Copies of this chain bind each other. A is one copy, B any other.
Amino acid sequence: MNPNNPILKHHISSQFNEDLVDVNTKFMTMGGLVEQQVANAIHALLDTNANLAIDVQFQDNTVNQFERDIDEALTLILARRHPAAIDLRMVIAMSKANTDLERIGDEAAKIARIAQTLCEEGESPRGYMETRHIGNQVRVMIHDSLDAFARVDAEQALKVLLADADIDREYQSATRTLMTYMIEDPKHISRVINVMWVLRALERIGDHARNIAEQVIYMAKGLDVRHTSVEEIEIKVQQSNTPR
């Protein structure tokens, strides 16, 4: 049980509390696994490690099983415990974030599949520097969004939203660079396109981490901040901190 999570301490019914703690532990374990999958997929690509690439694709089944288990546990909590207020928000936020974690796992498996292809072809193509750089940023985003979820920390979630805007910019710039490589050296087009798919997958992972961060803000503050600019979200979160 996480001593920093304010939601998991206040229940009178011990069975209800136990159910919430259990599903929360599962969610955090899945989060750790998904984080590792992304790290391994990037390593497999950059170090041309085909075995690691195969392992990541295989482990995606475990991620999928976590998704099913967590949704089942959440449905049981809704059916039996009728959570209200912040408990209900936690269940809803976890249900949404669960989908995002599974999708991050899918993107990691996609990167691993491409890594495997590129390993077999040998010779490392252009665009790896960009991949390493954006890959590192995205890993930090996943870590921070999960940490914010564990501590129900809206301020840290805000930082994740800011980081996502950075990644979108760097992704655009990296895509332009790769386009130049292709035009200069058309015979390596298919290899460079593969690297482009990897960058796209990393950008999508950043989006999913942002979605998780938005769910943290919903859970902590009851604010639905989807489709809202980061500036507006900052103001809303600050207002909700000020006692009225």
Interface residues of A (CB under 8 A from B): 61, 64, 67-68, 71-72, 75, 78-79, 82, 84, 88-89, 92, 95-96, 99, 179, 182-183, 186-187, 189-190, 193, 196, 200, 224, 226-227
B88–A224 touching, CB < 8 Å: no
Main DSSP-derived SS at the A contact region: helix
Known: A67-B226, A179-B193. 12 other contacts (CB 8 A): A67-B227, A72-B224, A75-B89, A75-B92, A78-B88, A92-B95, A179-B189, A179-B190, A182-B186, A183-B187, A183-B190, A193-B196
Residues of chain B lying within 8 A (CB to CB) of residue A68: 224, 226-227
A-B contact pairs, 20 of them (CB 8 A): A61-B227, A64-B226, A68-B224, A68-B226, A72-B224, A75-B88, A75-B89, A75-B92, A78-B78, A78-B88, A82-B82, A92-B95, A95-B96, A96-B99, A99-B99, A179-B189, A183-B186, A183-B187, A183-B190, A186-B189
B224–A71 touching, CB < 8 Å: yes
Residues of chain B lying within 8 A (CB to CB) of residue A72: 224
Closest to A186 in B: B186
Selected contact of A95 from candidates B64, B95, B186, CB within 8 Å: B95
Q: How far is the CA of A120 from the CA of B140 in the complex (A)?
A: 38
Q: A183-B189, A224-B71 are in contact. Are A88 and B79 (CB under 8 A)?
A: yes
Q: How far is the CB of A185 from chain B (nearest CB, A)?
A: 9
Residues of chain B lying within 8 A (CB to CB) of residue A92: 71, 75, 78, 95
B88–A227 touching, CB < 8 Å: no
